[in-house]
A = this chain, B = another copy of it.
Amino acid sequence: ALPLALFAGPCQLESRAHALEMASALKEIAGRLGIGLVYKTSFDKANRTSANAKRGLGLDAALPIFAEIRESLGLPIVTDVHEASQCARVAEAVDVLQIPAFLCRQTDLLIAAAETGRVVKVKKGQFLAPWDMKNVVAKVLAAGNPNVLVTERGASFGYNTLVTDMRALPILAETGAPVVFDATHSVQQPGGQGTATGGDRRFVPVLARAAVAVGVAAVFIETHQDPDHAPSDGPNMVPLGELEALLRNLQAFDRLAKA
């Protein structure tokens, strides 16, 4: 198996300057660790808990920034798509189209993403059993695109809580698609703060270590230089200053898991 890869970045695209700064910092860390990096950022948070929450820069402002990060830093980029009509345009500026968990069964979105020819990274719905992702993968494959990734990010467990079932990782691998473990959203407490989603970043390293020990192709970790003041997912983002040590530890577990 290939060594562990990394999807990382801040939750939202906050500004051109912030994006370039975060991407540069992550590129340096990835270089020191020799870990493959895909830069993650969202141009639109389309399903915020509350209508008053910040949604991001929007597609028009984001595309030139994505292009600049790819050109100046040579980093591949992953971003979310929310409607079928966005896929073609977003695909021009990014390498990986991510299908949000709530939308993982929207056939038109999956097909439109697949038809761009870009890698399609599908997050497993919080409402879905791991064995049901084979139908989701089949929708992408049937659209002629073999480059599909599946992502574990927790399952609904009572109200306002997610639980990660580590058995899901080998079950997802049976789809044939590489499995990514999203350590950030797995520790969310959806809606747990009334008009915002909570979380507990203390458990990011716990779940990430467990998943890497079981065996995954990549981890997805949102990070921010100041998570407590980030516009979204602050409670579950890892501070940038702690990321390198965490990744170094995960790489050691990955080598052992794949030995």
A10 at interface by CB-CB < 8 Å? no
Q: Given known contacts A47-B105, A48-B105, A50-B139, what 4 new A-B pairs fall within 8 Å (CB)?
A: A50-B135, A102-B125, A129-B160, A167-B187
A163 at interface by CB-CB < 8 Å? yes
What is the copy number of this chain in the assembly? 4
Query: How does the 8 Å CB contact mask read for A129-169 relative to B, with 1 for contact and 0 for none?
Result: 11110010011001000000000000111111101111101
B135 and A191 contact, CB distance less than 8 A: yes
Instruction: Chain B residues near A106: list those with CB within 8 A.
Output: 46-47, 82, 102-103
Which of chain B's residues has its CB closest to A132's CB? Answer: B191
A15 at interface by CB-CB < 8 Å? no
CB distance from A65 to the nearest CB of B (A): 21
B166 and A132 contact, CB distance less than 8 A: no
Which of chain B's residues has its CB closest to A55's CB? Answer: B107
Query: How does the 8 Å CB contact mask read for A68-84 relative to B, with 1 for contact and 0 for none?
Result: 00000000000000111
Which among A24-32, A88-96, A234-242, A251-259 touches the partner chain? A251-259
A113 at interface by CB-CB < 8 Å? no
Which A residues are within 8 Å of any B CB, using their own CB? 46-51, 55, 82-85, 102-103, 105-108, 110-111, 125-132, 135, 138-139, 142, 155-161, 163-167, 169-170, 187, 190-191, 195, 202-203, 206-207, 209-214, 252-253, 256-257
A-B contacts, 29 of them at CB < 8 A, read A47-B106, A47-B107, A49-B105, A51-B107, A51-B111, A51-B139, A51-B142, A83-B83, A83-B108, A85-B85, A102-B102, A102-B106, A103-B106, A125-B127, A126-B156, A127-B190, A129-B159, A130-B159, A157-B159, A163-B163, A163-B165, A164-B166, A166-B206, A169-B206, A209-B213, A209-B214, A209-B257, A212-B213, A253-B253
| Cα distance A85–B167 in the bound complex, in angstroms | 39
Given A51-B138, A83-B84, A203-B167, CB of A128 within 8 Å of CB of B213: no
Instruction: Chain B residues near A132: list those with CB within 8 A.
Output: 49, 160, 190-191
| Cα distance A47–B213 in the bound complex, in angstroms | 34
B164 and A51 contact, CB distance less than 8 A: no
CB distance from A173 to the nearest CB of B (A): 11
A50 and B156 contact, CB distance less than 8 A: no
| Cα distance A64–B123 in the bound complex, in angstroms | 37
Instruction: Chain B residues near A209: list those with CB within 8 A.
Output: 213-214, 257
| Cα distance A252–B131 in the bound complex, in angstroms | 30
